[in-house]
Amino acid sequence: MLGIFEKSLKAGKFDDDMILDDGSKMVIEKIYPLDAVFDVPEDVPEDVMSNKRYAGLDGFTIQECADKVAADYGKIDIFIHSLANGPEVAKPLLETSRTGYIAAMSASSYSLVSCVQRFAPIMNKGGSVISLGFIASQQVVPSYGGGMSSAKAQLESDTRVLAWEAGRNYGVRVNCISAGPLKSRAASAIAQGDQRTFIEVGIDYYLANAPLQKNLYSDDIGSTVCGMVAPAFGAVTGTVLYVDNGMHAMGWACEQAGEKLWKRSEPLREDELMGAKYTSQDAASS
């Protein structure tokens, strides 16, 4: 992923997204290599060290990354944990191996614990750690397999414990954002049906059934993060905040069911949405 990101950045693929409100372009001062399944150099097996994907990288464990950041910047205010990996995510839980299950936990949830262990000591008091959860931690989301739902549940539970421990030890806040489906590179690889991917169906399912019938964008998540790391949220910690157009509040899909959406080849159109139908007696009777 590091190579893909650096090549895309150099090719200017992110140029439009990097324009700030004042018209200037965001500057990325430095990119640090990080493989969050390794805490310290001693954890890295020889076959990984000799793998060509790691060739030329100078220290990519969590501890080494934290040490580099401290050397370059001293103290920091914000740490965003936006990473996950489940090698068997396309498998149902009943078909998930022990190795795949533990790998999902290691990369997706324990990595937060390790990062807070090593970054909280170099954060200013009042600093903020944010991670990204998913509603599968609390409710069943078919096709989100390989132990990833368990990993997200662990991530959210650890958020509460880390909020207590990091708060008392370092004065740092720890929160989690549970976002609705976004068509990211990683999400697009979860499952593939005959016509559509898991994430494409998820986007339409939320669009059809959430209280706010509008698409969710990365800016929605980013804006929420900006708020949560700001001093205005200085008394908020240990919280899982849903940013999903209200879908987490729904107990019944009243408009579009998953089976129907999987069979589609195209996204839902605006004229297919029910809007206010069934929200009042007048609308329901019309």
pLDDT of residue 277: 61
- For 142-199, the pLDDT digits (tens) are 889 999 999 999 999 999 999 999 999 999 999 999 999 987 656 555 656 557 788 8
- Mean pLDDT (whole number) for 231-237: 96
- Residues with Cβ within 8 Å of 260's Cβ and at least 6 positions away in sequence, in order, are none
List all residues 6 or more positions away from 69 whose beta carbon is below 8 Å from its beta carbon.
32, 76, 119, 122
pLDDT at 113 over 60: yes
Measured in residues, the chain has a length of: 286
DSSP string, 64-86: HHHHHHHHHHSSEEEEEE-----
**Residue 32: other Cβ atoms inside 10 A:** 15
- Could you give the CA distance from residue 261 to residue 265 in angstroms, rounded to a whole number? 8
Examine the pLDDT at 281 and tell me if it is beyond 90: no
Catalytic site positions = 109, 152
The answer, yes or no, to whether residue 77 has pLDDT greater than 90, is yes
pLDDT in tens, 23-68: 999 999 999 999 999 999 999 999 998 888 888 888 999 999 999 9
Phi-psi group of 103: left, alpha or beta (phi > 0 → left; psi -120 to 50 → alpha; rest → beta): alpha
Residues 6+ positions from 99 with CB-CB distance below 8 Å: none
Alpha helix positions (H), 88-147: 98-105, 111-119
How high does pLDDT run on average in the chain? 89
Question: Where exactly are the structural domains of the chain?
Answer: 76-272
Are the C-beta atoms of residues 155 and 147 closer than 8 Å to each other? no
Q: 């990119």: which residue's tokens?
A: 31
> Quick one: 187 exposed, middle or buried, by C-beta within 10 A (0-12, 13-18, 19+)?
buried
pLDDT of residue 148: 96
pLDDT at 185: 58
| Residue 76 phi, psi (nearest 5) | -125, 165
CATH 3.40.50.620 fits 76-272, yes or no: no
Full-model pTM: 0.85
Gyration radius (Cα) of the chain, Å: 21
